[in-house]
Structure 1
């Protein structure tokens, strides 16, 4: 495996030990092929078959491959070479698919930013990765991503190119649609990247406004994508509806758009999971599979309860992940949608668990599945690191052939999250049943899971402390019927002062923070509870807000 070396001589990407890499190759998990090769295989067998639909845009496999080759050539023409990083901040659109595959083809490494990220997150990501280009939409829902991209480029040396979909308002922006035009010469491909190289960076929540970067190699990502596709039964007849943000690993490769394409299937792209449009798309395109988060499932079920039933006969499998799906909601999915439910639990850092088609309701309704690989190892421990018995809740540690061993350029954070032995400490509290399925119980880390988006409590607290009227602040997860968790901020005001939720949110907006991190509720208190050793007792605060929400 190639490893990028830092100026200090330390690896910036932690490699798998040779003995593990050899084992994963010998057992067939790593096929030693770059991601682009799998698309070529699918296209060779079905060149004239439509494989991508996005509104008025329909592409056959041959047309998709031609655009991927064209984009790869034009990235090279911009001076981008294998190993160079580009930030991809695009909404759900066909250009996202073409650019991602073009990067995989050429060895350029896409950094998958979220459309909700703003100046603070994008600037931090660009500096950390030394990104050379930033690919964005134009104006979306009134927000000018093009202008923001140029502000980031001005602040980050080496970020030379801004490419924009749709209408461009500045002459120094590149036309991303033209960048994705078909290739003039499909024989002029650059050398394929090494399968052990980093293929892409996924993002995980950070504590200081800078998301952690998770390096995923061609080998490990291809294994996860292929295995998820096999478990879900993806093939040439699969029509996958992509409604969640494609920059997340779940709708991208669990099996998502990539797993569907390499299986010879078709992807249909929508901007959001809004039920009226999504359910109409299922009927129009004869969708067979989709991926949702619990909040979207609830909206779909509520919509169907008050509207005439849509034609959902084609829908066979509905995946749900991102946060714990309430058992009572899980039981409503199949009767309402007429499709099988598959619960999914995973993380950008690697591990992927799924219930299996054919599992009994007792598993599908009440668990979040089991690992996809025989070499996925699970270890549940208590707060002292002592293993807990099967059936007892414990903090989950894992390791396996698609769980990387560290964050990019973050030795301190890597040391904290990756104990000795190649384990990754997920921060999730789970129960392991005797049948091998996991039940998610909560978190042990100070992290809030808002509809699948991870928010560091410390980041919210730091912004609250920028107000002179705030003496103490503590952010905690608050139960939410749709999102699973939302952000509640407890504040102790300074004597004689008042603090409002609007003031805190304004501070965060002015700093250019992603909107999903803004607190939804403010609780003013005289003091914060503390533990025996003097730390703020977040457990007590979470229990308090749960009582206030559901007295």
Structure 2
């Protein structure tokens, strides 16, 4: 196990093996078996580029050899920030093969988050696209090389400029030692609920179960054609079941370069897509666009929706407008996945976020004193299980708050449990805004706002929003002339924050409502804003 990670207790790990959750297979060896089993089937589509399983495996093997030839060793970390491109898929599989650990950043991340992730992970290299959606990643990479001591090289898909070309990671295949199945396979990003994102260590054993079990629950099969609409560095489109779940059954992954209905609907029609995954924000956009698009969506069998709660009235329109089934998904990169099943009653599919994947997912719903609540009552979700982490990477102090002494992860989510283990998500305890499926950490944004000379104090809150679910509103106490919203967003952008962390709304207030302990009463502040009175 990588230093800085928290392993499962030995007796617990043995139980997970005995019950078949963990099969002691690394992701690299798993991929090679899939490539051999499905050699001539179509595996991956990226625009005009197509690979069979055999062809993709050949590329992966050359990349794996190229990574080793470039001097990287098992256990070292490489920071990946790539959009939905075939290079992301091939390099991830190659890194799994050699035991080098990918740290998966999102295309929307900017200097603030990337600098933090590079330092925290001790990344040795940074892999980027030259540009994506109008943003040039190379200047950011230049700054990163100057400021992060561990970073040695930058590889670029596209015009490399002063850096190394991604294509230089190529060498003749050679025998490669496989990593242990208990080793960390990938470092995913937390939602960043307290400041900057934490790193989530997922092992080969637990992440393979994650992909395999979710593929089974979702009903993936050999003729599945999965459209990756969301950024593939997200846990949801990567392994829930996503790319890995599709490869598990010999299906085909089609990469979508952007989530717009124009782009996605064209691919659904031309590639005969059967399954895709969206966040609720995009579901609403698709439902509005579909009746006027003129696209043939008849191949679509199932739409997965996760990342935030989907309202029942929106869920009810999916079958009518898109002509496909719906699967609700509630999960976290930290582990636990709940899903409805295709054969669940309509009431479960429309009104709940599903039930846990594993029999050994130990789910508790507790009150503020940590006492277990009966089914039907709302409380905080605690969980431990065969694919839920026991601690964040290099976060010993935070882990003492985020986990109970018995190893339960404190999710911060407020849920109700129904008969049969189905969960209904009611909200969150932690200071985070769920903006269209992207988690905006309140503390992080507030700290950057406080560096603005005109702001004396700030409280960032999430307000109900028809399309996004929640939008971000900064309530500020000013010193001098009040800044305007564009000025503050320019300030945040200049600080290196990702675009999804920018403000949707600004309110100038005289003071904040306080709790009895003297803390800002955010709930009361939201109620005032919704009612039309901020102060």
TM value normalised by structure 2: 0.97
Q: Does residue 1:69 correspond to 2:57, yes or no?
A: no
Are positions 1:174 and 2:160 aligned together?
no
Shift of 1:142: 2.5
- Residue 414 of structure 1 aligns to a residue whose secondary structure is helix
SS of alignment partner, residue 435 of structure 1: helix
Give the alignment partner of residue 511 of structure 2, picking from 517, 520, 527.
527
> Distance in 1 between the 2:457 and 2:142 partners?
36
1:483 and 2:468 aligned = yes
Given the alignment, which residue of 227, 230, 236 partners 2:216? 230
Cα shift at 1:189? 2.9
Q: 1:369 to 1:455 in 2, by over 3 A?
A: same
Q: 2:172 — aligned with what?
A: 184
In 1, Cα distance between the equivalents of 2:484 and 2:2? 48
User: Where does 1:412-451 land on structure 2 (aligned, <5 Å)?
Assistant: 412-451=397-436
Mapped to 1, the partners of 2:36 and 2:194 lie a distance apart of 46
Deviation per CA, 1:386-413: give whole Å up to 9, x if none.
Answer: 2222101101001100001011111111
Give matches, 1:390-401, under 5 Å.
390-401=375-386
Which one is further off, 222-231 or 201-210? 201-210
Instruction: Give the superposition deviation at 1:41.
Output: 2.0
SS, match of residue 299 in structure 2: coil
Q: Cα deviation per residue 1:386-445 (whole Å; 9 max; x = unaligned)?
A: 222210110100110000101111111111111111100100001101232111100111
Q: Which runs of 5+ in 1 are unaligned?
A: 5-11
Structure 1 residue 467, shift from structure 2 partner: 2.0
Aligned length: 533
Tell me the secondary structure at the aligned position of residue 364 of structure 1: helix
Matched, 1:512 2:496: yes
Q: Is the 8 A contact 2:16 2:386 kept in 1?
A: yes
CA contact (8 A) 2:413 2:428 kept: yes
Confirm or deny: 8 A CA contact 1:457 1:476 kept in the other structure: yes
Corresponding residue number in structure 1 for 2:126: 134
- Of 140-149 and 226-235, deviating more is 140-149
Structure 2 counterparts to residues 140-179 of structure 1, below 5 A: 140-170=132-162, 173-179=163-169
Pairing 1:220-299 to 2, within 5 Å after superposition: 220-299=206-285
Secondary structure at the counterpart of residue 546 of structure 1:
helix
What's the C-alpha RMSD, in Å, of the aligned pairs? 1.4
CA contact (8 A) 1:3 1:15 kept: no
Equivalent residue, structure 1, for 2:88:
96
Unaligned runs of 5+ in 2: none
Q: Any conservation in 1 of the 2:195–2:443 contact (CA below 8 Å)?
A: no
Cα distance, 1:366 vs structure 2: 0.5
The answer on whether the counterparts of 2:196 and 2:441 sit within 8 Å (CA) in structure 1 is no
Using the TM superposition, give the Cα deviation of residue 65 of structure 1 relative to its aligned residue in structure 2, in angstroms.
Answer: 0.5
How far apart, in 2, do the equivalents of 1:200 and 1:546 lie? Answer: 41
Separation in structure 1 between the aligned mates of residue 407 and residue 8 of structure 2, nearest angstrom:
8
1:106 aligns with 2:106: no
**Hey, what does 2:205 align to over in structure 1?**
219
Please report how far the alpha carbon of residue 466 of structure 1 lies from its aligned counterpart in structure 2 after TM superposition: 1.2
Q: Greater shift after overlay, 441-450 or 200-209? A: 200-209
Given candidates 114, 119, 122, the residue that maps to 2:114 is 122
| 8 Å CA contact 2:65, 2:172 repeated in 1 | no
What residue is the counterpart of 2:314 in the other structure? 329
What is the CA distance between 1:497 and its match in structure 2? 2.9
1:368-401 Cα offsets, whole Å, 9 max, x none, are 0000000001111112222222101101001100
Detail structure 1 runs of 4+ shifted over 4 Å in the superposition.
Answer: none
Work out whether residues 41 and 262 of structure 1, in 8 Å CA contact, stay in contact via their aligned partners in 2.
no
Q: Deviations over 1:204-259 (max 9, x none)?
A: 13367531000000000000100011111212111000010001100000000111
Give the deviation of 1:510 after TM superposition. 1.2
